[in-house]
Amino acid sequence: MSTMRLTNEGLVFDFTHDEVSKIMAAQDVTEQALATIGAAVALGGGAVGAVAALVAAAAATNLAIHKNQFQQADKGFGVEMTLPLWAIILQLWEVQLMQPLPAPPVGQGLQSTRGSVWHTVQPTPSSAFGSWSRLGDAAGAGQIAVGSNADGRLEVFAVDTADRLAWHIAQTAPNGSFGGWSWLRDAKGVGQIAVGKNADGRLEVFAVDTAAGLAWHITQDAPNGSFGGWSRLFDAAGLSRIAVGSNADGRLEVFAVDTAAGHVWHTAQTAPNGDFGGWSQLGNAAGVGQIAVGSTADGRLEVFAVDTAAGLAWHIAQTAPNGSFGGWSRLFDAAGLTAGPGQITVGSNADGRLEVFTLDTAGHVWHTAQTAPNGDFGGWSQLGGAVGVGQITVISTSSGSLEVFAVDTAAGMAWTIFQDGPNGDFEGWVAVGDQLGLGHIAVGKNADDRLEVCAVQL
């Protein structure tokens, strides 16, 4: 709850992060601010309360005027707003000094925000993002992934760094707020995860364990429903990276990289919504570090990879929709790329052309796109002037243009860059709010097309 105190500098109001979020989300910011300030005044009582009551209404009104500054001052722990004594005497209510409240010491309040999950959402499709807020009370998270239920509700999946347990949290209604985190059944020692959607709309989560590199999967019992139990995904072992794509006929196909030689392996459902067949090696590529999967305009799956030796980019595609794969070929002349998690990703343009994004060792973002739907790729070019980027992801917006999200490794800030229109050129990088210390990032699209970005606090 907000508090108020009288100091030598002036009248100071402390707003919690939740109070800041409620004020900013209110239809009438002044009314919500007045209710919050009024509660603090009531707690103040006595002479302080009498003085504060005179200024509360004016302060609330002017807080609405300064709402952008108020929102930007919140770094996740709330805002301290000071009305200087001289301004009160002169009745200059527009003078409001705002600064972030510091994080509580370990042992008080939140034990730590390390590994907590944060999110920000667009107020309307294609608009700037709102403020970051904590997504439930989870802590110790490492990797996250976002899936979309059959009814459009977003569901976020995370792996904790302590016991490597899998967790999930879902919106209670399409476009709505989230419920609480819950353990995703009994899996332990989970490494990387990926989320796919069956032809009937059921979400299916895939994972590789850290002990033996076995592949596992768990599926919703029904669209929008609860999850069953984890089961082993056939007999593969020694795996690390994992990704999933959807064939033209709706069959899911899973791709993974082994740790011994960097070979890529794959397995597919034998029928839509059905069981998986056995694993087989995907071409003769070796030394692969990370993979990503896209779908061409005609429905063929195409896999992209970066090798760990020279940082070269490679790709391999089905020869026909739902069919077998051809051979690996180099994706133009890029070299010195990084092969870590989240460092290569692929999106689909409005006209169906695939576009691949990746990072070099200096943290520059590079991209290349097909010159025509289902066609060859052009040359690589640097995407804006970003440097020091650690992880990227891409999504298609409500207009069909691509939007790329990234986190820098220096301050842990989230950034975005988007096309100026469907199939168009990219504009410049802009910050996604001012939250610091972020790491792994993922993005989903709400049922009403508003993008929602999730990230882990390092």
- Residue 432 is given by DSSP the state S
Please check whether residue 136 lies inside any domain of the structure: yes
pLDDT in tens, the chain (458 residues): 456 667 777 778 777 776 787 788 777 877 777 777 655 444 344 444 445 555 666 667 777 777 777 787 877 667 888 877 777 777 776 667 888 877 544 333 323 478 999 999 999 999 999 999 999 988 899 999 999 999 999 999 999 998 899 999 999 999 999 999 999 987 889 999 999 999 999 999 999 999 999 999 999 999 999 999 999 999 999 999 999 999 999 999 999 999 999 999 999 999 999 999 999 999 999 999 999 999 999 999 999 999 999 999 999 999 999 999 999 999 998 999 998 776 999 999 999 999 999 999 999 999 999 999 999 999 999 999 899 999 999 999 999 999 999 999 999 999 999 999 999 999 999 999 989 999 999 999 999 999 999 999 98
* Residues 147, 8 share a domain: no
Whether 41 contacts 4, CB under 8 Å: yes
Please check whether residue 372 lies inside any domain of the structure: yes
> What pLDDT shows up at residue 25?
77
Q: CA-to-CA distance for 124 and 247, rounded, in angstroms?
A: 32
Please check whether residue 438 lies inside any domain of the structure: yes
* Residues 40, 7 share a domain: yes
Please check whether residue 387 lies inside any domain of the structure: yes
Please check whether residue 110 lies inside any domain of the structure: no
> What pLDDT shows up at residue 46?
41
* Residues 138, 82 share a domain: no
> What pLDDT shows up at residue 3?
64
234: which residues sit within 8 A by CB, 6+ positions away?
A: 215, 267, 276, 277, 278, 279
* Residues 423, 317 share a domain: yes
* Residues 189, 220 share a domain: yes
* Residues 123, 91 share a domain: no
User: What's the sign of the alpha-carbon dihedral 271, 203, 346, 144?
Assistant: negative
Please check whether residue 107 lies inside any domain of the structure: no
User: What's the sign of the alpha-carbon dihedral 124, 126, 130, 133?
Assistant: positive
The domain of 147 spans 117-457
User: What's the sign of the alpha-carbon dihedral 156, 160, 161, 165?
Assistant: negative
* Residues 196, 125 share a domain: yes
* Residues 166, 51 share a domain: no
> What pLDDT shows up at residue 93?
62
CA distance readout (Å), 250 to 36, 75, 271, 384, 454: 51, 43, 8, 36, 27
Last residue in a domain, options 100, 130, 148: 100
Residue type, 409: T
* Residues 166, 43 share a domain: no
pTM for this prediction: 0.76
Count of domains for the chain: 2
* Residues 155, 22 share a domain: no
Last residue in a domain, options 59, 74, 100: 100
Whether 170 contacts 215, CB under 8 Å: no
Please check whether residue 108 lies inside any domain of the structure: no
Last residue in a domain, options 100, 133, 154: 100
240: which residues sit within 8 A by CB, 6+ positions away?
A: 191, 192, 208, 213, 256, 257, 258, 259
Please check whether residue 77 lies inside any domain of the structure: yes
Residue 181 belongs to a domain with what CATH number? 2.120.10.10
* Residues 128, 76 share a domain: no
* Residues 93, 157 share a domain: no
- Residue 103 is given by DSSP the state P
> What pLDDT shows up at residue 74?
78
> What pLDDT shows up at residue 305?
97
